[in-house]
């Protein structure tokens, strides 16, 4: 039996919107958006909407989200790190988020990125980089030790397909994840009431870019796949949650899941 929970989603961008749609079938959804123009659309879907942004300076205008004490879970999808390799300090943005969360005690999820791992040709596991060493993760962990940190690979699915982009380095192995699998990970962790976990959320198959584009354009691919590259392992997620990916192979992200 699944009890209906009150779930807050901070940041209703591409991923936040997909999560809200999935979770709304079983839960009551509270979302934040920075955009006045999105409020009606989100309200029409039955979500409770708060307009707030997390500026990169302390403006004094951020107040605590008045409904946090009622929420069973909060999912943070706003980015709190710079691009890969550049640990830009977003200290003010971080402080604004902490103020907004107040002294929240419930289940908490931070959407992080596999960009926290260095650009080296090896397979990375979670223990290779502790959350304590990652500024964009430890700022929230220090205040909310219960936070679950999900290190997401490149977000794909829907209209986000490699064939739609101008791609270079075609022989490079990918670390991708379909948004539907991220939603399923969160659902499982909600049901398990998981606390203080760090997981790589990455499809287990790492084809190269050319293989994926060929599959998405329905073209044959006769090349071979290198075994050299930077790959991120989801094995901890798979074993802890007994997790099965709907979309384990990025070559087939464009196909509807059966």
User: Is the distance from CB of 10 to CB of 32 less than 8 angstroms?
Assistant: yes
Inter-CA distances, 128 with 20, 21, 246, Å: 31, 34, 27
CATH code for position 61: 3.40.50.720
Evaluate if residue 166 carries a pLDDT over 80.
Answer: yes
Average pLDDT, the chain: 91
Q: Mean per-residue pLDDT for 81-91?
A: 56
Band (55; pLDDT cuts 50, 70, 90): confident
Domain boundaries, position 68:
6-158+177-200
pLDDT above 70 covers a percentage of the chain that reads 93
187 located within any domain: yes
SS (HEC) of the chain: CCCCCEEEEECCCHHHHHHHHHHCCCCEEEEEECCHHHHHHHHHCCCEEEECCCCCCCCCCCCCCCCHHHCCEEEECCCCCCCCCCCCCCHHHHHHHHHHHCCCCCEEEEEEEHHHCCCCCCEECHHHCCHHHCHHHHHHHHHCCCCEEEEECEEEECCECHHHCCCCCCCCECCEEEHHHHHHHHHHHHHHCCCCCEEEECCCCCCEHHHHHHHHCCCCCCCCCCCCCCEECCHHHHHHHCCCCCCCCHHHCCCCCC
Mean pLDDT of 6-34: 95
Our CA dihedral for 38, 41, 45, 51, rounded to 10 degrees, sits at 30
Residues 256 and 249: their CA atoms lie apart, in Å, by: 13
Q: How much is the average pLDDT of 218-243?
A: 93
Look up the pTM and report it. 0.94
Q: Is residue 220 part of a domain?
A: no
Domain count, the chain: 1
- Whether residue 188 lies inside any domain: the answer is yes
Confidence of residue 226 (pLDDT cuts 50, 70, 90): confident
pLDDT at residue 197 in the model: 98
Higher confidence at residue 1 or residue 62?
A: 62
46 in Cβ contact with 24 (< 8 Å): yes
Is 208 a domain residue?
no
- Asked whether residue 31 is assigned to any structural domain, the reply reads yes
Rounded to 5°, angle at Cα 58 from 53 and 63:
55
In this prediction, residue 85 carries a pLDDT of 45
Residue with tokens 């709304």: 24
CA atoms within 13 A on the CB side of 186: 34
Query: Is the residue at 205 inside a domain?
Result: no
- What is the spatial distance between Cα 70 and Cα 64, in angstroms, rounded to a whole number? 13
Beta pairing, strands 6-10 & 28-33: parallel
29 occurs within a structural domain: yes
Strands 107-113 and 148-152: parallel
Answer yes or no: is pLDDT of 83 > 60. no
Does some domain include residue 127? yes
CB contact at 8 A, 51 and 36: yes
């Amino acid at each position: 039996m699944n009890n209906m929970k009150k779930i807050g989603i901070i940041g209703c961008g591409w991923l936040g919107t997909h999560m809200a749609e999935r979770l709304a079938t079983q839960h009551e959804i509270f979302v934040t958006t920075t955009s006045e123009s999105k409020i009606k659309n989100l309200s029409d879907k039955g979500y409770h909407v708060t307009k707030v942004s997390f500026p990169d300076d302390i403006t004094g205008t951020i107040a605590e989200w008045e409904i946090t004490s009622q929420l069973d879970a909060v999912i943070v999808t706003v980015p709190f790190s710079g691009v890969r390799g550049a640990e830009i300090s977003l200290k003010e943005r971080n402080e604004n988020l902490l103020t907004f969360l107040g002294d929240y005690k419930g289940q908490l999820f931070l959407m992080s990125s596999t960009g926290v791992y260095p650009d080296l040709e090896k397979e990375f596991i979670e223990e290779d980089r502790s959350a304590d060493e990652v500024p964009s993760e430890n700022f929230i962990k220090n205040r909310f030790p219960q936070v679950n940190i999900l290190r997401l690979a490149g977000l794909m699915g829907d209209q986000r397909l490699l064939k739609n982009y101008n791609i270079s380095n075609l022989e490079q192995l990918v670390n991708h994840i379909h948004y539907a699998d991220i939603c399923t990970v969160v659902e499982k962790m909600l049901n398990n009431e998981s606390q203080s976990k760090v997981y790589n959320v990455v499809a287990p198959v790492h084809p190269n870019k050319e293989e994926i584009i060929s599959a998405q354009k329905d073209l044959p691919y006769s090349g071979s796949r290198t075994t050299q590259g930077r790959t991120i392992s989801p094995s901890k997620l798979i074993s802890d949650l007994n997790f099965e990916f709907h979309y384990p192979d990025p070559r087939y992200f464009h196909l509807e899941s059966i």
